[in-house]
Structure 1
Amino acid sequence: MRPDLILLALAGSAFAAPNAAAAPGPVVTERPSIVRRGNVGGTSNVYYSLDIGFAGSPYYNVYALNTCINLNAPYLRKISSFGPDEGTLCTIYGASNCGTQAGSATIYYPGSNDLRSFGNNWNDRIASFKCVAGRPASSVGSIPFSVSRRDAIATKI
């Protein structure tokens, strides 16, 4: 066996190995369908990103309803856009463990592509969130925008 081929194979496998430290979002056990689907089977899709307009490291995942989700770096208190799928209400919290000491607000589909103008400026404040199945009683609390950019980003993730 040629030593140069063994070294080449080992070097290639080092670069091909997944980097567990690179996983930016909360730990999940299921990769979501990219298709917007609302809440299904006790879960719902949620989109969020570091920058306004669902830009800057967008993250899209499926989460269990009625479960507090604590954010990890780089998203912890750095989210500028947030949007749950249709049929889902999410409460966002400024504190970990869905604590209300740093404030909370309810956001629903399509969410907000600019959290600076959502409620009392929620830009870079979200530490945790909890989503439930439901629809808002009125249109107060969510800033409508075209979800086409958000959904286009989700198909690339």
Structure 2
Amino acid sequence: SSGQCVGVGSNFNDDVTSFGPDKGLTCTVYSDAGCSGRATGGIVYPGISNLADYNNNDAMSSFKCT
């Protein structure tokens, strides 16, 4: 639900290159579980096609959207 920290799961942990939330949401992705570590925030639809541009490529472990 909105505002809750979500782990990406073992299949995607440290293996995400792009991220796009649904319209109306603003998200922050985090390099560590529990929405901690290096953060890339303010992500809105249609998202970011290359997280490497934000120094977070293949590093995402969790995210939170509101």
Q: When the two structures are aligned, how many residues end up with a matched partner?
A: 65
The structure with more strand, counted as a fraction of residues: 2
Structure 2, gaps ≥5 residues long = none
- State percent identity of aligned pairs: 35
Partner of 1:137: none
State the Cα distance separating 1:82 from its structure 2 match.
0.5
Q: CA RMSD in A?
A: 1.0
Partner of 2:13: 76
What amino acid is the match of 2:15? Answer: K
Matches within 5 A, 1:14-53: none
Partner of 1:52: none
The structure with more helix, counted as a fraction of residues: 1
Pair 1:111 & 2:47 matched: yes
| Mapped partners of 1:95, 1:116: distance in 2 | 16
Structure 1 runs of 4+ with >3 Å offset: none
Normalised by the length of structure 1, the TM-score is 0.40
Partner of 1:34: none
State the Cα distance separating 1:74 from its structure 2 match.
1.4
| Mapped partners of 2:28, 2:48: distance in 1 | 13
| Mapped partners of 1:105, 1:116: distance in 2 | 11
Structure 2 residue corresponding to 1:92, chosen from 29, 42, 47 = 29
| Mapped partners of 1:108, 1:125: distance in 2 | 19
Structure 1, gaps ≥5 residues long = 1-63, 133-157
Question: Considering only CA atoms, is the larger Rg found in Structure 1 or Structure 2?
Answer: 1
- The structure whose RCO (Cα within 8 Å, separation 6+) is larger is 2
Normalised by the length of structure 2, the TM-score is 0.88
State the Cα distance separating 1:77 from its structure 2 match.
1.0
